[in-house]
Chain A
Amino acid sequence: MAVLRSRLRRAFGVALFAGGLVLAGGGPALAAGEALPPPDTKFSFDGLFGTFDRASAQRGFQVYKEVCSNCHSMRLLSYRNLRELGLSDAEVRAIAATVEVSDGPNDDGQMFERPGRPSDRFRSPFTNEKAARAANQGALPPDLSVITKAREGGADYIHALLTGYSDPPEGFQMMDGLNYNKYFAGRQIAMAAPLAGEGQVEFKDGTTATVEQMSRDVTTFLAWAAEPELESRKQMGVRIILFLTVLGGLTYAVKRKIWSDVH
């Protein structure tokens, strides 16, 4: 799937209108080093009948909460959405209550802080883009709500990126403050390896938190966040295509019957 997708994508590829329409902006010229295509990783949600591995997605949420949420927002999610991952009402309420959200204004016209409720959106680590950039040497950690849909390669890419850190090869010119990652465009990324060593988080279900495992889990969580409708979409698709195939057979028989006196 992902391979097909990236192939098609490449076919649809690149382009900027040459006739004098070079538009404002454009990042700094990137040093040599094209990104490697992410390897095709097997996920539970691949294929026609794929579903999200709930245990993995729950661990992934833990990784997001303890690691990624220090820098990345997920503004499109609410705490109550976590119930879809199999967390109980009480667990969701407890998770929401661990953050302070700003609410108001109250009758005195003042904003105030209160503990989060399940209906609140995930709290963002920074109040605005400037604050996020200031804390990250000018780089902006993107919102992760739909990140697997917003990057070529999807979940494969996210997993590859999180596990793709290494020392730069001999002679590779690194810019200050950037990190070498062979799957990132230009191979230099402002995010330092977020998953750095085994045991960085402690999973409640006893799973060993290797970098590979944490990355897989958080990627599953992010894929669920981006496409929570994936399971019902695929199930409905299988049913509808079966239905249409039968209907198509019947229609074809009717056509043959009707045309039989002509041909």
Chain B
Amino acid sequence: MLGVVIFLLMMATAFLGYVLPWGQMSFWGATVITNLFSAIPLVGESIVTWLWGGFSVDNPTLNRFYSLHYLLPFVTFGVVFLHIAALHVTGSNNPLGIDPKGPQDTLPFHPYYTAKDSVGLIVYFIVFAALVFFAPNILGHPDNYTPANPLVTPPHIVPEWYFLPFYAILRAVPDKLGGVILMGGSIMILFVLPWLDTSPIRSMRFRPLARAALLLWLVSFFVLMYCGAKPPEEPWVLIARIATLYYFAYFLVILPALGAKERGLPLPASISMPVLRGGGPLPAGAMAKPMEKA
């Protein structure tokens, strides 16, 4: 759940940061998103005025968004710390979803995972460097190279790519308040996920039906991302609605139902059994002090 808080903080920080270059998309994106709060009955309008620090997105908005943009990463940092502390209460999960039964089932984080994660990190750096050095503008919008102008609305206002699925959910609902609720709900629902998934089996590997449903959920997520980039017209609206329906049905109907009904495959006896094909010796490095688990 702290993870979801980090996710929300990160989204807020990214949104606030995107306002800072003060280009056309910054300005109009800020206008659209802050306007969402006006959907809240009774107090909505007042909240929007309060966020803006005036009666439209203007300099005071930019100032306070910068302060918040500076602040939130440090808040995120604090929550990451709590997140890791919380992890040490329960210990790490594993792809098989079964509890370790002895030292042959676990490895110390260092050097095993530090070495393995370094490889992944460098692969990521290469992709990142390719974007930064050879296509720095590819994920941006050309309109943001035109300075903010309250008098000229860009023909299409789109969020950055990482917000597109949620933007599609927002637009899939014909009612503004309903759209805002579903968009918020699409993330809030992650908070209650532990109670929606009632299955005693922790790993999807041993739940073929739930696994298929999860993969389909991923498909619906990417379909929504695609629809979010399309104009709000048919067939995209209809497709986005179907995908939105499935997005929520997965959490609210399929997971609880499968949790109660699905039998699942037999679980292996221990972690080392399937991974090392029948136990295996204690790795030398495992003699080092294993990661402390409070």
Contact = CB atoms under 8 A, between A and B. Distances in A.
Interface of A: 1, 4-5, 8-9, 11-21, 23-27, 48, 142, 146, 149-152, 233-234, 236-238, 240-241, 244-245, 247-248, 251-252, 254-255, 258-259, 261-263
Contacts, number: 143
Interface stretch (B163-171, B195-203, B243-251): B163-171
A142 B119 CA distance: 47
Interface of B: 28, 31-32, 35, 39, 107, 111-112, 115-116, 118-119, 122-123, 125-126, 129-130, 132-139, 141-143, 145-146, 151-153, 155-158, 161, 164, 167, 170-171, 173-176, 179, 226, 228-232, 237, 276, 280, 283-285
B135 A150 contact: no
Contact of A21 (B122, B164, B176): B176
B20 to A, nearest CB: 17
Given A11-B229, A248-B123, 13 more contacts: A11-B226, A14-B155, A14-B158, A15-B230, A16-B232, A234-B133, A236-B133, A237-B132, A240-B133, A241-B133, A251-B115, A255-B116, A261-B284
A146 B140 CA distance: 14
A234 B132 CA distance: 9
Contact of A25 (B152, B231, B276): B152
6 contacts: A8-B139, A150-B145, A236-B133, A237-B130, A240-B133, A259-B115
Decide if the interface of chain B is mainly helix, strand, loop or mixed.
helix
A1 B134 CA distance: 9
Nearest to A232: B133
A151 B142 CA distance: 5
A241 B131 CA distance: 11
B158 A21 contact: no
B129 A241 contact: yes
A261 B285 contact: yes
Contact of B115 (A15, A23, A24, A258): A258
Contacts of B171: 15, 17-19
A220 B116 CA distance: 45
Closest A-B pairs by Cβ, 4 of them: A237-B133, A150-B145, A19-B176, A25-B153
Given A244-B129, A248-B119, A255-B115, A261 B155 contact: no
